[in-house]
A and B are shown apart, each in its own frame.
Chain A
């Protein structure tokens, strides 16, 4: 059993991942640059990944790490499509500010 797994309770990883997730939530809510909003979503995805890997290692279950692998694959696909959408928004509106995308607002 490695040093970290023997000495650090898994709760600490839970709290660390929760902190990262909440930072991502705050980033999505406060910023209006859609690229930064996108990066905050990546922070949230990675917080979940840390939690998956921590539980997988502490409980010796490889399924959690396989799941993280799939999350990374989906994140890569999501980033490719999302950045293409942002480039298209910039091309049409000359800005990436989310405040400019208000046509669906009541």
Chain B
């Protein structure tokens, strides 16, 4: 059952990622991206990472995607306004992306020592209790630095988004 679920979620995630890239309307892209995030949340649950599954829904599908949708509706983009790259550039881009995929898969299929840990396997590491202990014991300094990063990002976003005097209105 879980194995079929893995294949289903993977296929759905790859398809919706393709639709994000190739759909014409930016709003559709955002909706497909939300679908992809929910598929990845399913993957996290299958991998026993329950805390990250919830954080993924709250942060990505909740906050970031709402920000994207808000900006898209704010900007009032016309669907057919995008000219797109010239066909030769598109062809080259798809070829180089495909080559990257082929090279990475062929390299990564040669890597050994990838099997799951047999002795001492702990399925509870993804729970809030264990992750919180690791986060506040071993990673306390990065955690505090992340809050400084958020402060800087907040100040930067407000500074950039602020309307200057004498600027044109939307």
Contacts and interface: CB of A to CB of B under 8 A. Distances in A.
B4 to A, nearest CB: 10
A60 B125 contact: yes
A1 B116 CA distance: 10
B109 A63 contact: no
B14 to A, nearest CB: 5
Contact of B46 (A2, A29, A69, A78): A2
Interface in A16-45: 16, 18-27, 29-33, 35-36, 38-40, 42-43
A68 to B, nearest CB: 6
Interface residues of A, number: 77
A16 B77 contact: no
Interface in B25-68: 26, 29-30, 33, 36-37, 40, 43-44, 46-49, 51-52, 55-56, 59-60, 63-64, 67-68
Contacts of A79: 64, 67-68
Interface of B: 1-3, 5-6, 10, 13-14, 17-18, 20-21, 26, 29-30, 33, 36-37, 40, 43-44, 46-49, 51-52, 55-56, 59-60, 63-64, 67-68, 71-72, 74-75, 77, 81-85, 89-90, 92-94, 96-98, 100-101, 104-105, 108-109, 111, 114-117, 120-123, 125-126, 130-131, 134-135, 138-139, 142-143, 146, 149-150, 152-154, 156-158, 160-161, 167-168, 170
Which 8 residue pairs across A and B have the least CB separation, nearest first?
A29-B93, A77-B153, A26-B97, A3-B2, A27-B21, A84-B160, A22-B101, A57-B47
